[in-house]
Structure 1
């Protein structure tokens, strides 16, 4: 794909969470400039018994390829202490995933697009619906706002206070 593309990506952490989420946002801000940032949510660990995660979705516009983004994000995860030699469902300092790359569908540079977690996990769909409620899922054709309204899986998450670079990007519901 040539030209500038809108990309949505998820950020998650359940180890020293504020530090690693902020480090990810700092790096993304340096790379892409203006970031569209969802509220930050706390959610229970899914698939293993662990500390709660902080999750959010960020929208960027880029001319980088899927492969280039994937390599860059894996390097950022590693620089922030992410270990790859652990079980899939385990604690992590930083987890960055490409959710969508424009309207791309299929396996591109080893990345499945759109990411299946969008339709499965509240901690991905809710923040995506927050910043892109009118955007259509490239496969099912429904907007993320509609998909969130219809979401019925039993996954709890709640907004939390979060400050980044001196500004409030998220407030708790309380």
Structure 2
């Protein structure tokens, strides 16, 4: 069964949205493992801080079906499509990796954000430190160690209550 890695983020009612997103993912995927939750400043625009994490799971769905499941969860969380790339998000769920597949369609894999955003690479390195990036052929831990902790990409782990009820 293919293993996937998923980026999850929010900066609008973020704690509730993150809990909702992860709970919804459990309906579609098996063996869900989540990283710590990280807080970071908005990148590319002025906005509230984001909460981000990465999850891994197993699936029998195709890439297109996984992408559609993510869009359904985002819609249920109140996300409206057509927003600017860098803007506030109720819930943003992206497929980072689908096994070791490299492709441009139906979506680009591996997702480029892995190599460019600390809020993706650090939690990915946390849950899959020895896994190799399918293009770079370097482990995620090694990629994180070489990342260079860019000044504009500060992030910090937070205590997150998964069981908190709304």
* TM-score normalised by structure 1 residue count: 0.90
CA–CA separation in structure 2 for the residues paired with 1:164 and 1:30: 17
User: What is the alpha-carbon root mean square deviation over aligned residues?
Assistant: 1.0
The equivalent residue for 2:124 is 128
* TM-score scaled by length of structure 2: 0.94
Contact 1:6 1:60 in 2 (8 A): yes
Q: Which runs of 5+ in 2 are unaligned?
A: none
Give deviations 1:29-69, integer Å, cap 9, x for gaps.
12223311100000000010000000000000111100000
Secondary structure in 2 matching 1:26: helix
- Who is 1:72 aligned against? 69
**1:12 maps to which of 9, 14, 39:** 9
Determine whether 1:42 maps to 2:39.
yes
Contact 2:21/2:73 (8 A) holds in 1: yes
CA offsets, 1:58-110, max 9 Å, x none?
0001111000000110111011111113211110100000000000002132x
Instruction: Tell me the residue number matched to 1:119.
Output: 115
* Equivalent position of 1:60 in the other structure: 57
Determine if contact 1:123/1:157 at 8 Å carries over to the other structure.
yes
* Cross-structure match for 1:143: 139
Unaligned 5+ residue runs, structure 1? 167-174
Q: 1:30 aligns with which of 27, 47, 51?
A: 27
Q: What stretches of structure 1 move > 3 A for 4+ residues in a row?
A: none
* Structure with the bigger percentage of strand: 1
Distance of 1:50 and 1:138 partners within structure 2: 33
State the distance in 1 between where 2:86 and 2:48 align: 12
CA distance in 2, matches of 1:10, 1:41: 12
